[in-house]
Amino acid sequence: MATLYRLLTEEDTSAFCHKVTDALAKGWELYGSPSYAFDAAKGVMRCAQAVTKTVEADYSPDMKLGQQ
């Protein structure tokens, strides 16, 4: 068994909400609070949310976390 970790990031648009919602629908769980920061290079606000998921498989760096 392994606990997987992902940090989802996106500009502050509905795309970020959809990315997090998709992960939750696939069994990932929120981990901690979301973050919000200004990206000066692009002049936009960015969001981040960590998620975790426990799976039956052993962890491998070759895993495609978004497909778990």
Asked whether residue 47 is domain-assigned, the answer is yes
Residue range(s) defining the domain that contains residue 47:
2-57
Looking at residue 59, its pLDDT comes to 87
Asked whether residue 9 is domain-assigned, the answer is yes
The dihedral sign for the CA sequence 22, 25, 28, 34: positive
Tally of structural domains, the chain:
1
| Residues 57, 43 contacting (CB under 8 angstroms) | no
Per-residue pLDDT tens digits for 34-60: 999 999 999 999 999 999 999 998 888
Looking at residue 66, its pLDDT comes to 78
Per-residue pLDDT tens digits for 10-34: 999 999 999 999 999 999 999 999 9
Residue 43 belongs to a domain with what CATH number? 3.30.1490
Looking at residue 63, its pLDDT comes to 85
20's CB contacts (< 8 A; 6+ apart) are: 8, 30, 49, 51
Asked whether residue 67 is domain-assigned, the answer is no
